[in-house]
Structure formats: C-alpha cells, structure tokens
C-alpha cells in the first residue's frame, strides 16, 4: 500500500501491520471503540482471508527518530472516515530490515526501485 499502481502490481499481503505512535498510546489504550473496531474489522475480513495482525508501538520497530513527521498518506477510496498512512520509504526499509525475511528483502528491493532515496540517507 502507498506505492500507487506499482504497488498493486508488486504483490499482495494477507495482513496489516500497524505502528501506533507512543505519544498516542495512553489515548489509544483507553479508547474502547478502537479495540472494538479492530475486532469487528477482523471479523468482517475473515471471508476474504484478511486480518489486522500486528499492532506495534514505534518503540517496538526500527524507525528514524522523526518518523512521524515523514509519514506518507495513502488513498483510502470509498472510506470517508478512514485516513491511512505508511512510514516514509527509509522508515519502511528499516522496519523490513529488522526481520531479515526473504519477502521483506524483496519488498526492500521494490521500494528502492520505485522511490528516490538519497544515498546519504
């Protein structure tokens, strides 16, 4: 997600990993509607074999210190109350590097092929 038509052509995933900002965790943890929404969303996605599987805080994944100021909006067609973002390409690569998974390595190659990242970065 978040790479336009090239991303659609690259591959698909069956799960969604979310990074929750530590600065928002107190509010998120107290928000019963958020947790109910996750539960209901997963139930509605079951017929398609999809699910929201991992909710990480930004302290649990490798990210640059200012990651939140560099998030990239993702178009959410058909959802007027949903706003989606992905980490910047550099931060996304960092999260994938920490797992050293074959698919994640392919994802990193895709990111570098479709995004301009300064060599110094």
Query: For 64-75, what is the mean pLDDT?
Result: 92
Distance CA 10, CA 24 (A): 32
Confidence of residue 11 (pLDDT cuts 50, 70, 90): low
Q: What percent of the chain has pLDDT over 90?
A: 31
Q: What is the pLDDT of residues 50-64, one digit of tens each?
A: 777 788 999 999 999
**Does pLDDT of 8 surpass 70?**
no
Q: What is the pLDDT of residues 27-42, one digit of tens each?
A: 999 999 989 988 998 8
- pLDDT of 9: 57
Structure tokens at 20: 């929750």
- pLDDT of 91: 93
Residues whose CB is less than 8 angstroms from the CB of residue 117 and which lie 6 or more positions away in sequence, other chains included: 89, 90, 93, 111
Mean per-residue pLDDT over the chain, rounded: 83
């Amino acid at each position: 997600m978040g790479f336009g038509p090239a991303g659609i052509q690259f591959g698909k995933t069956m799960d969604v990993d979310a990074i929750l900002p530590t600065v928002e965790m107190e509010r998120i943890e107290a928000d019963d509607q958020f947790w109910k929404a996750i539960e209901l969303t997963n139930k509605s996605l079951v017929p398609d074999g999809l699910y929201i599987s991992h909710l990480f805080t930004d302290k649990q994944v490798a990210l640059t210190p200012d990651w939140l100021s560099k998030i990239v909006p993702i178009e959410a067609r058909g959802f007027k109350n949903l706003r989606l973002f992905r980490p910047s390409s550099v931060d996304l690569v960092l999260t994938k590097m920490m797992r050293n998974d074959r698919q994640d390595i392919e994802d990193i190659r895709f990111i570098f092929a479709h995004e301009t990242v300064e060599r110094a970065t």
